[in-house]
Amino acid sequence: MSHFTSEEEVSLQSMLRQLLQSVKEKITGAPSVECAEEILLHLEETDENFHNYEFVKYLRQYISKNLGSVIEEETEKRTSAQNQGEGSGYDTLVQHVTKKTRESKEYREMMHSLKNVMMVVVESLINKFEEDQMRYKEMHRKVKTEQQSSYYTDNCSDSDSSFNQSYTFMNQEQLQLLVERLDPAQPKEVRQEAMHTLCSAPPSDILNCESWTNLRKHLATALSDPDSNFSDKVLKFYAKTFSSSSLNMTRELYTSLAKYLELYFLSENNYVPTLSMGVDISNPDVIRLLKKIRLLNEYQREVPSFWIRHPEKYMEEIMESTLSLLSVKHDHSVSSKPLDPVYFLALVDLKAVWFKKWMHAYYSRTVVLRLLDKKYKSLIIASVEQCASYLEACESTVDGTGVFNYFSISHDGNKQKNFYTGKELQYIYFVHSLSLLGRLLIYKQGRKLFPIQLKNRKDLMSLTDLVILFTRLIYCSPNCPKTLTVHSGNYFPAGLITDVLRILCDRKECATECLYTNTVMEALLQPIHYLLNGTEVHLNCSETTLIHIADILARIAAVDEGLSLLLYGGENPSVEVTSHRGAHTIVQFTKKLLDEDISVLSGSEMLPVLKGAFIFVCRQMYSTCEGLEVLQLYRLHRSIAEAWKKTSLISERIPTPVTGADCSTSVSQWSQNFIVLEETLLDDLLNFASTPKGLLLLQNTGTVNECVTYMFNRFTKNLQVSGCEKFGYGVILSQVAATAPGALALQSSGFVKALVTELWGVLECGRDDIRVTHPRSTPVDPIDRSCQKSFLALIKLLSYPAVYELIGNQEIPNKPEYSLREVPTDIIDIVDRLIIVNTAAKIHSLFNYEQSHIFGLRLLNVLCCDLDTQLLFESQYKISEVLLDAQKENAINIAETSRYFIIDGLSVERNHILVRINHVGGPTERILPPRILHKGDDPYPWPMFSSYPLPTCYFAEFPRKTDSRQDDDASKLLSDLKNPDKHLGWIENVQRQFCEIMESKPNVVSGTNLAELIEKFVLLLSETPSECYFSSRENEDDANVVINLTPIQQLGIKMTISYGKHLNLLGENAENDLCQVLMSCEKYLKQQQHVFIQTSLRGLEEGYASYDWFTSSIFLIMMGDREKTSTFLHQFSHLLVSAFLWIPRLHRSIHLPLDTAMSGIHPVYFCSAHYVEMLLKAELPLVSSAFRMSGFTSSQICQQWLSQCFWNYMDWREICHYIAICIFLGPDYQIYMCLSVFKHLQQEILQHTQTQDLQVFLKEEALHGFQRGRLAKPQL
1051 and 1009 assigned to the same domain: no
**CA 515, CA 507: separation in Å to the nearest integer?**
11
Which helix (H) or strand (E) element contains residue 1099? none
1100 and 1176 assigned to the same domain: no
In a domain, 1054, yes or no: yes
- For 582, other C-beta atoms within 10 Å of its C-beta total 26
1104 and 1154 assigned to the same domain: yes
Q: Which residues pair with 899 in a beta bridge?
A: 893
In a domain, 453, yes or no: no
Which amino acid, 853?
H
- How buried is 339 (Cβ within 10 angstroms: 0-12 exposed, 13-18 middle, 19+ buried)? buried
**CA 974, CA 1013: separation in Å to the nearest integer?**
6
Per-residue buried b or exposed e for 988-1020, using 16+ beta carbons within 10 Å of the residue's own CB: eebeebbeebbeebbebbbbebbbbbbbbbbbb
User: How many angstroms separate the Cα of 79 from the Cα of each of 64, 88, 239, 925?
Assistant: 20, 9, 59, 58
**CA 660, CA 448: separation in Å to the nearest integer?**
61
Model pTM above 0.85: no
In a domain, 185, yes or no: yes
973 and 939 assigned to the same domain: no
Cα-flanking dihedrals φ and ψ of residue 1274, to 5°?
A: -65, 120
Q: Which residues pair with 452 in a beta bridge?
A: 461
How many structural domains is the chain composed of? 6
1171 and 1081 assigned to the same domain: no
**Are 813 and 836 contacting, i.e. CB atoms less than 8 angstroms apart?**
no
Cα-flanking dihedrals φ and ψ of residue 419, to 5°?
A: -140, 135
In a domain, 535, yes or no: no
**Are 1141 and 664 contacting, i.e. CB atoms less than 8 angstroms apart?**
no
89 and 118 assigned to the same domain: yes
Among 75, 65, 140, 139, which residue's Cα sits nearest to residue 101?
A: 75
**Are 714 and 754 contacting, i.e. CB atoms less than 8 angstroms apart?**
no
- How buried is 643 (Cβ within 10 angstroms: 0-12 exposed, 13-18 middle, 19+ buried)? buried
Q: Which residues pair with 42 in a beta bridge?
A: none
870 and 825 assigned to the same domain: yes
Predicted local confidence at residue 894, as pLDDT? 65
Q: Which domain holds residue 945?
A: 762-954
Predicted local confidence at residue 933, as pLDDT? 86
768 and 814 assigned to the same domain: yes
Q: Which residues pair with 166 in a beta bridge?
A: 160
Q: What is the mean pLDDT of each run of 10 residues along the chain (1276 residues)?
A: 66 82 75 73 77 83 85 80 55 77 86 84 76 61 45 34 45 81 86 84 73 82 86 88 82 91 90 91 92 95 90 93 92 70 95 96 95 95 94 74 44 67 92 96 95 89 95 80 41 90 93 93 91 74 86 94 91 50 93 88 84 95 95 95 90 61 52 82 95 96 94 81 66 95 96 94 70 55 82 95 95 90 92 94 91 95 97 96 93 71 92 95 93 86 90 78 63 84 82 91 89 94 89 58 86 96 90 95 89 79 91 96 95 95 93 91 96 96 94 96 96 95 95 96 96 95 80 42
Handedness of CA 1091, 1096, 1102, 1105 (dihedral sign): negative
Reduce the DSSP state of residue 1162 to 3 states and report it.
coil
879 and 934 assigned to the same domain: yes
In a domain, 128, yes or no: yes
Catalogue the long-range contacts made by 999-1003 (C-beta closer than 8 Å, 24 or more residues apart). 999/1270, 999/1272, 1000/969, 1001/967, 1001/969, 1001/970, 1002/1217, 1002/1267, 1002/1269, 1002/1270, 1003/964, 1003/1213, 1003/1269
Structure-derived torsion over alpha carbons of residues 139, 140, 144, 145, reported in degrees to the nearest 10: -30
DSSP per-residue codes, 1101-1127: SSS-SS--HHHHHHHHHTTT-HHHHHH
Question: What is the DSSP secondary structure assignment for residue 782, as one 8-state letter?
Answer: S
- Contacts of residue 895, defined as CB under 8 A and 6 or more positions apart, other chains included, come to none
DSSP per-residue codes, 617-676: HHHHHHTSHHHHHHHGGGTHHHHHHHHHHHHHHHHHTSPPP-TT----HHHHHHHHHHHH
Q: Which residues pair with 420 in a beta bridge?
A: 279
Question: What is the DSSP secondary structure assignment for residue 1224, as one 8-state letter?
Answer: H
978 and 995 assigned to the same domain: yes
**CA 191, CA 178: separation in Å to the nearest integer?**
9
Predicted local confidence at residue 659, as pLDDT? 53
**Are 853 and 834 contacting, i.e. CB atoms less than 8 angstroms apart?**
yes
Question: Which of 1010, 1027, 1044 is the last residue in one of the domains?
Answer: 1027
In a domain, 532, yes or no: no
Predicted local confidence at residue 175, as pLDDT? 80
In a domain, 1123, yes or no: yes
In a domain, 990, yes or no: yes
**Are 355 and 298 contacting, i.e. CB atoms less than 8 angstroms apart?**
no
**Are 945 and 951 contacting, i.e. CB atoms less than 8 angstroms apart?**
yes
User: How many angstroms separate the Cα of 171 from the Cα of each of 178, 198, 206, 208, 424?
Assistant: 11, 13, 10, 11, 52
- Contacts of residue 1069, defined as CB under 8 A and 6 or more positions apart, other chains included, come to none
**CA 471, CA 463: separation in Å to the nearest integer?**
12
Predicted local confidence at residue 1001, as pLDDT? 87
Reduce the DSSP state of residue 1214 to 3 states and report it.
helix
183 and 120 assigned to the same domain: no
Residue 921's region, left for phi above 0, alpha for psi from -120 to 50, else beta, is left
Q: Which residues pair with 955 in a beta bridge?
A: 926
Handedness of CA 161, 166, 171, 172 (dihedral sign): negative
Question: Which of 206, 221, 245 is the last residue in one of the domains?
Answer: 245
DSSP per-residue codes, 539-584: -SSHHHHHHHHHHHHHHHHTSHHHHHHHHH-SSS--GGGGGGSHHH
List strand residue ranges (DSSP E) for 1081-1231, in order: none
Predicted local confidence at residue 1110, as pLDDT? 97
Cα-flanking dihedrals φ and ψ of residue 461, to 5°?
A: -95, 115
1108 and 975 assigned to the same domain: no
